[in-house]
Amino acid sequence: MSAPEPQPVFRDEVAAGVSLKPQHFEQAMASRAHEIWFEVHPENYLMQGGPRRRGLRQIAADRDISFHGVGASLGGPDLPDTDHLKAIRQLVDDIKPVRLSEHAVWSSIDHTYLAELLPLPRTQSVLSNLVAGVDAYQSAMGRTILIENPTNYLTVHSDMDEADFLLDVSDRTGCGLLLDINNLYLSAHNIGIDPKAYIDALPPGKVGEIHIAGFDADPQFGNRLLIDTHASAVADPVWSLLDYALAHLGPKPILIERDANLPEFSTLEQEVLRAQRMLDRLREPDHA
Amino acid sequence: MHDPYRGLSDFVLNGQASGLHHVFSGPQPEQIAILYRNGYLRACREALEARFPAVASAMGEVEFRKVCTAYVQTSPPRQRTLTGYGADFPDWLSTEVCSLMNPGLVDLARLDGAWLDCLFGLDENPLTALQLNQRIQSGDGLPVSLRLPRNARVVALDHSVFDVWLSIRQGESGAWVPTQPEASHALLWRPDMTVLSRQLDAWEARFYLSFQATDSLEEAAEHFLPATTNDHDLPITLEQYFARLIESGLLIAGD
């Protein structure tokens, strides 16, 4: 299957944004943050109508929206579900997001949705499945997407390291990469990969968006196992790794991900502003 | 060749750990891979709780959690989103012991499910009295066809739970009291962004079921029965009832 026409994976103007939840619709509409943008999981907006869909449409009229899918099962044993892709495409046509992204994981087998971002063994066979999944998704959307590196809690059987695996998919499909710094930090902590070597391996032109988020220690294993909860503020070591990534990759859209234990919107805005200041510093003359 | 997908899905769905070593290196991967199984069960349970809040409240957390686990085992999600998960939960619930003990729970589930379906249903602009007057004054008369909003739901109930359901939804939940068998219907509809609901008289149920099935107000009107009480809130004539339909945002002008 041929990939859609390549498009730039990032825009000239890059800014910081935040996950958008229906509880924050009104504050998001009123936000005074100049360039703030919002990201949603499209799966949460696949209904015919109602206040949630209307709220998203209203915000999309004023602000950039990006879609971050969680249900496509791109690397699964079966191709992404065509009904699901059609539903996402209809939402894309309605909301017109500036970016589309999904996860380099799997979540479905035998028409059963497992509602988890399950890790992929990095073998040639699985690589082929992921390539086919990305091709199918991009064809259905009529545009290229970004795929996100997973959080690792266990070491999967592998023929290649994760950065090479994702870059291979990118080369074969034309998709870009979404670098989740929090996932990378947790993978480094949990299974011992080198996060800076991982970042160094990524060509800046391949990365179209960066995510940062909060994590929590596992209730059973404590700090030995860190969980990607998106339920707390971004931790200092993640900010530091973001700094390192920006120095290597240059300015990229940065998303503050928050999915649970939602604070006041103004609290999230403070994290957005911190990320925005990091982007602004890259534009200063001594960074030129 | 061993299937790593099957190795992990067997664990997530059924807790069978024997295939995990086809996916993960290292000893006892199930100790950590339990994250995935717990995440799957939690996501499904939270989706059911979001769709059936009155059932969850009436059952209590411990019982509802047990029921959800059993349901997920029987009816795992088939769509790639959990927003609509649990469409057959009320029917499944009707076979469970807890529901045989408290059969009104099934009706609560029917009402909860219909409420969310209505909320997520099609947005439509109901015919207003002003629009109707304008049509009449311009000589256009009534719209050629009138129908119920596509987001409207007529829910058949076997027990007298409607008021209890409303109370729970409005946060006034007290102890769940088993209800008496009493067949009735409820109507849920959404003229704007808020779901409205009310219990129907027997003739009204026939009226709305006919209206929904035929998109014909004339056929539905054959079921109209004028009020026989002195309750001035009830319409006396068909014309008054028609006005009530418009006032409630229950009429959509067809194409």
Question: Could you say which residues from 221 to 280 on chain A have a Cβ atom under 8 Å away from some Cβ of chain B?
Answer: 221, 225, 227
Is residue B249 situated within a structural domain?
yes
pLDDT of residue B144: 65
Based on the fold, state whether residues B137 and B220 are members of the same structural domain: yes
pLDDT of residue B234: 66
Is residue B76 situated within a structural domain?
yes
- Range of weakest confidence among A174-183, A251-260, B228-237: B228-237
Whether residue A175 lies within 8 A of chain B, CB to CB, comes out as no
Whether residue B32 lies within 8 A of chain A, CB to CB, comes out as yes
For residue A100, the cross-strand partners are A67
The reply to whether residue A115 touches residue B44, judged by beta carbons under 8 angstroms, is yes
* Chain B residues near residue A154 by CB distance under 8 angstroms: 24-26, 29, 32-33
Higher-pLDDT residue of A6, B41: B41
Last residue within a domain, chosen from B23, B58, B88? B88
What whole-number distance in Å separates Cα of residue A169 and Cα of residue B162?
Answer: 54
pLDDT of residue B229: 59
> Percent of chain A beyond pLDDT 90?
91
Is residue B18 situated within a structural domain?
yes
The DSSP symbol for A99 reads E
- Which residue, among B190, B150, B127, has the nearest Cα to A52 in the 3D structure? B190
The mean pLDDT of chain B is 90
Q: Nearest Cβ partner of B5 from A43, A76, A218?
A: A76
Is residue B95 situated within a structural domain?
no
pLDDT at B1 over 70: no
The C-alpha of A114 sits at a distance from chain B's nearest C-alpha, in angstroms, of 6
| Number of compact structural domains in chain B | 2
Q: Are A82 and A69 in contact (CB under 8 A)?
A: no
Length of chain B: 255
Is residue B97 situated within a structural domain?
no
The C-alpha of A14 sits at a distance from chain B's nearest C-alpha, in angstroms, of 30
Based on the fold, state whether residues B232 and B120 are members of the same structural domain: yes
Higher-pLDDT residue of B153, A285: B153
Based on the fold, state whether residues B72 and B152 are members of the same structural domain: no
Based on the fold, state whether residues B151 and B243 are members of the same structural domain: yes
Last residue within a domain, chosen from B22, B55, B88? B88
Instruction: Compute the average pLDDT of residues B134-145.
Output: 74
Whether residue B76 lies within 8 A of chain A, CB to CB, comes out as yes
Strand, helix or coil at A4?
Answer: coil
Based on the fold, state whether residues B61 and B136 are members of the same structural domain: no
Whether residue B175 lies within 8 A of chain A, CB to CB, comes out as no
Is residue B96 situated within a structural domain?
no
Domain that holds residue B39: 1-88
Based on the fold, state whether residues B130 and B60 are members of the same structural domain: no
Whether residue B169 lies within 8 A of chain A, CB to CB, comes out as no
Based on the fold, state whether residues B226 and B119 are members of the same structural domain: yes
The C-alpha of A200 sits at a distance from chain B's nearest C-alpha, in angstroms, of 26
* Chain B residues near residue A51 by CB distance under 8 angstroms: 119, 193
Is residue B232 situated within a structural domain?
yes
> Would you say the C-alpha torsion A281, A38, A196, A144 has a positive or negative sign?
negative
pLDDT at A94 over 60: yes
Based on the fold, state whether residues B154 and B84 are members of the same structural domain: no
pLDDT at B186 over 90: yes
Based on the fold, state whether residues B73 and B180 are members of the same structural domain: no
Q: Judging by beta carbons within 10 Å of its beta carbon (0-12, 13-18, 19+), is residue A236 exposed, middle or buried?
A: exposed
Distance of CA B36 to CAs A266, B16, B96, B132, B189, Å? 32, 13, 27, 56, 38
The helix (H) or strand (E) run that includes residue A277 is helix A265-283
Distance of CA A39 to CAs A89, A165, A181, A197, B249, Å? 16, 26, 16, 28, 34
Higher-pLDDT residue of A74, B137: A74
Residue range A102-129, pLDDT digits in tens = 999 999 999 999 999 999 999 999 999 9
pLDDT of residue B175: 60
The reply to whether residue A118 touches residue B121, judged by beta carbons under 8 angstroms, is no
* Chain B residues near residue A71 by CB distance under 8 angstroms: 80-81
Last residue within a domain, chosen from B45, B65, B88? B88
Is residue B6 situated within a structural domain?
yes
* Chain A residues near residue B26 by CB distance under 8 angstroms: 154-155
* Chain A residues near residue B76 by CB distance under 8 angstroms: 112-113
Six-digit token pair at B59?
Answer: 């059952």
In this prediction the pTM is 0.92
Based on the fold, state whether residues B244 and B133 are members of the same structural domain: yes
Based on the fold, state whether residues B67 and B140 are members of the same structural domain: no
Six-digit token pair at B93?
Answer: 């619930």
pLDDT of residue A2: 47
Based on the fold, state whether residues B119 and B209 are members of the same structural domain: yes
- Which residue, among A46, A40, A44, A20, has the nearest Cα to A31 in the 3D structure? A20
Q: Nearest Cβ partner of B39 from A44, A84, A116?
A: A116
ipTM over 0.95: no
Kindly indicate the confidence band of residue A60, based on its pLDDT and cuts at 50, 70 and 90.
Answer: very high
> Would you say the C-alpha torsion B75, B76, B79, B81 has a positive or negative sign?
positive
